[in-house]
Structure 1
Amino acid sequence: MPSAAHDAALLASIGVRRGAPVPAPYAAALRAVPRHLFLPGRIWVRDGHGGYRPLDRAADPDAWARAAYSDQPLVTQLTDGVPTSSASMPSMVLYQLELAGIGGLARQRDSNSRDGIEAPRVLELGTGTGFNAGLLSALLGQDAVTTLELDPALTTQAQRNLKSAGYAPTVIEADAVAGWPPGAPYDRILATFSVDRIPDPWRAQVRPEGSIVTPWYSDWTAYGMLTLAVAADGAAQGRFHPHGSYMTMRTPNGPHAATRPPSEPGGPARRPDPDTAATAGTPATRTRLSPWAVSGDPDTEFHLGLTVPHTSYDWDTTGEHAPIRFALYGADGSVAAVDYDGQQADEFTVTQSGRRRLWDETEVAYARWERLGRPGVERHGLTITPDSTHHVWLDDPGHRLTAIQ
């Protein structure tokens, strides 16, 4: 069974990743909420080849316990080979709690209690295993925490997990896109999945000067964390932060981000064939922008995901069309293919078709990114007006880059 040594190993590995020891309140919460109590007997870990391998507690309890107390994400539900629920990397869980200022809320709770003022309240969206709700309960008190889970089986299991750890926050089976009005207003709303827009109900349910913290995603990449301060009129403003790659939001009708069906990072499920589309498109052209320049780097992909909207990509290395092909897919059916002939690495063949010229858009966006000094994720911000318009900006809210549709 896991022991104090496992706790110590987890805290040490998180400290190494952070570059500093885990702050005392969060370290105490991690010790008070044993991670193994929130994991099923079978979990899945990366196999190093793009897939997952199972670990069974009954078959190999030592390996299972080491994984449970490692600083890595663990898949807890696999459906048709695709992860549909997971236990997030503990360091990322703490990262989000720190971005949300949960430690400060804990101090505010103690002060409010002395003064007879209502304690701060937090709404978590996406209960999953219940581990994050357990940490919130340890930090703020279970009465301060409401958590929503769409999957009825996960809801029931999370309640059991929390009970086994000694906590009983409010756990509700519900669609997170609508939030939970009966418990509003909240001081914080935290999502454990990524979105590409902020649903209106979230802003409506946050107390003025409260905040929303959520992972972010675009069709280009799932990466980054957004913190938004909400004003009394419903407007919100904040910055993106690096790190974190989370599953997208799910609804009763299937996966989606905030308002539209998303593609998985790397592309939508149904794609036109670039060669078929190219026959109806414009003649092939040449480009000097390498497809390797626009993929693989988190800062590059994050910027392009915001400025070349509703566009995903993948790589074809089968050699069927070209030695290596980089393909772009627009949500409207537009397509572009950038082919490397295996010899000339300073110029590539481009074919494009559809309403949008996706590679042309990418070249323009990439050139602007370079002119702007190759900004990282942390230089980007988001403003949401009371009428729900989303504006992305760079460095300062006055320097707008684009509107998110």
Structure 2
Amino acid sequence: MEPVGADERAAMSCLLHVVEESLGVPIDPAWEAAFRDVHRHAFLPEKVWVGDNLTECSRKAAPEDWLRHAYADTAVVTQINDGRAVEQDERWASCSASAPSIVLRMLDMLDVRAGHRVLEIGSGTGWNAALLAHRLGPGRVVTVEVDPALAVRATRSLEGAGLDARVIHGDGARGHAAGGPYDRVIATCSVRTVPPAWITQTKPGGVVLVPWESPWFCYGLLRLTVDGYGGASGFFSPHSAFMLMRGQRTELRIYRDVVRDSHVPEESATRLSPWAVAGGDWAAQFAVGLLLRDVWRAWHENPDVEGVTDRLWLATTDATSWAAVDRDGRTTDRFTVWEHGPRRLWGTVEAAYDWWCGAGCPRPERFGLTVVPDGTHVVWLDTPDNPVPDLTRPGLT
């Protein structure tokens, strides 16, 4: 194990205090012991990327800055562009070490007990698997990583820390049946649908804990309890934003991936502000995303359009329909809408928002999801017998 100096120990102690304040409750002593023994900096690569602009930070060139990022309660990007060379300085995050507060929050929600077997999806740096292995002991943790380079590095880091967690290079959506059945499954990547293997490889009464994402909004955790009949059910909680599982990615990143010069949109108007459904109200965004599971959105600030300060773009994930809603920065009760394709997306957004308001503006923790044995995902409010309206594409409730 890499030696730890006074600076590292001081940084760890300071971070534990910050994390405890963030969680609002004392850290479980077993997890605190794991945190102190399993040093986060030992699992980070020599080069990381930080901030919104993904600024490179090298341990060799800037050791103090690198250590500061290692022990800040923030996510640290550990890979960009899936490990490929950067073209035209276009950088996007493809792997990160999650913020320690969300790591400990999820580990606490997982509720592991002595003797449990755990399957982790998304090894990343290996730090999360290391914390689990420290708590549970040898032979109890299997972690699956789709990226071969990351899998190798996680294996080396775990070995260097003297911890026994088995790293499998493969598609995390398939789980790892040979190591099951598991008492707990935890994902460190977000999903838009829960892979069936995670449920079938979990013991009845076991827990599957996954970060959630809709194309509309990346936010939330879903904690499912497996029923033993091929299904699972549980509530969301309002925490986290993780990178999407690679096998569930869509190629939509900007409006130009959808809009074509040949498209002739229809013009209309709306009184619903685009900011109400895609602005600062996370609860509203979460609800809209649950009701419209195949609709993606992105803001376009300062478009080259006279009188328009910003524009909200919407599109179906299959790129067959799109809409744009303009704000002029002055009017608050009327906005121009442009739409193209077989679906009128803004009308469905209005319907989703109206339903959410009519339901009392419920926060994320009042929503739940049931995965039935055939794989159908049923979203509900408060209880499973109260499903939310179906406003998305056929096949998703």
- Both proteins in one fold, TM over 0.5: yes
1:169 aligns with 2:177: no
Shift of 1:285: 1.6
- Supply the AA of the counterpart residue of 2:46: G
Cα-to-partner distance string for 1:114-165 (whole Å, 9 max, x where unaligned):
xxxxx32000111010000100001111311011111111111111111121
Shift of 1:268: 7.5
Report if the CA contact (8 A) 2:191-2:213 is conserved. yes
Which residue does 1:101 correspond to in 2? 111
CA distance in 1, matches of 2:389, 2:99: 32
Cα-to-partner distance string for 1:141-193 (whole Å, 9 max, x where unaligned):
13110111111111111111111211121111111011101011000111110
C-alpha spacing 1:396/1:292, structure 2 compared with 1 (3 Å): same
Which residue does 2:176 correspond to in 1? 180
Between the two proteins, the alignment pairs up a number of residues equal to: 375
1:84 aligns with 2:84: no
C-alpha spacing 1:262/1:74, structure 2 compared with 1 (3 Å): same
Report if the CA contact (8 A) 1:268-1:312 is conserved. no
Report if the CA contact (8 A) 1:294-1:300 is conserved. yes
Shift of 1:262: 2.6
Which residue does 1:338 correspond to in 2? 325
Report if the CA contact (8 A) 1:262-1:268 is conserved. no
SS of 1:95's partner is helix
1:307 aligns with 2:309: no
Report if the CA contact (8 A) 2:255-2:298 is conserved. no
Equivalence map 1:13-52=2 (5 Å): 13-46=18-51, 50-52=52-54
Equivalence map 1:108-119=2 (5 Å): 109=114, 119=115
Equivalence map 1:192-211=2 (5 Å): 192-211=188-207
Report if the CA contact (8 A) 2:255-2:313 is conserved. no
SS of 1:401's partner is coil
Which residue does 2:315 correspond to in 1? 329
1:225 to 212, 215, 221: 221
1:291 to 274, 290, 298: 274
Shift of 1:343: 3.3
Which residue does 1:71 correspond to in 2? 73
Report if the CA contact (8 A) 1:263-1:269 is conserved. no
Shift of 1:34: 0.4
- Supply the AA of the counterpart residue of 2:133: S
Which residue does 1:133 correspond to in 2? 129
C-alpha spacing 1:359/1:276, structure 2 compared with 1 (3 Å): farther
Which residue does 2:355 correspond to in 1? 368
Structure 2 residues not aligned, in runs of 5+: none
Which residue does 1:317 correspond to in 2? 301
Which residue does 1:262 correspond to in 2? 250
Which residue does 1:212 correspond to in 2? 208
1:238 aligns with 2:234: yes
Report if the CA contact (8 A) 1:130-1:159 is conserved. yes
- Supply the AA of the counterpart residue of 1:311: V
Report if the CA contact (8 A) 1:267-1:329 is conserved. no
C-alpha spacing 1:83/1:381, structure 2 compared with 1 (3 Å): same
C-alpha spacing 1:276/1:368, structure 2 compared with 1 (3 Å): farther
SS of 1:396's partner is coil
Report if the CA contact (8 A) 1:313-1:328 is conserved. yes
SS of 1:142's partner is coil
SS of 1:44's partner is strand
Report if the CA contact (8 A) 1:159-1:168 is conserved. no
CA distance in 1, matches of 2:157, 2:367: 38
Shift of 1:331: 2.1
SS of 1:3's partner is helix
Cα-to-partner distance string for 1:271-305 (whole Å, 9 max, x where unaligned):
215x853x2x43x2211100111113221111111
Report if the CA contact (8 A) 1:223-1:244 is conserved. yes
Report if the CA contact (8 A) 1:136-1:142 is conserved. no
Shift of 1:199: 1.0
SS of 1:22's partner is coil
- Supply the AA of the counterpart residue of 1:200: P
Report if the CA contact (8 A) 2:235-2:365 is conserved. yes
Report if the CA contact (8 A) 1:263-1:312 is conserved. no
| Aligned-residue RMSD, C-alpha | 1.7
Report if the CA contact (8 A) 2:137-2:164 is conserved. no
- Supply the AA of the counterpart residue of 2:27: V
C-alpha spacing 1:42/1:337, structure 2 compared with 1 (3 Å): same
Give aligned-pair identity as a percent.
40
Report if the CA contact (8 A) 1:219-1:263 is conserved. no
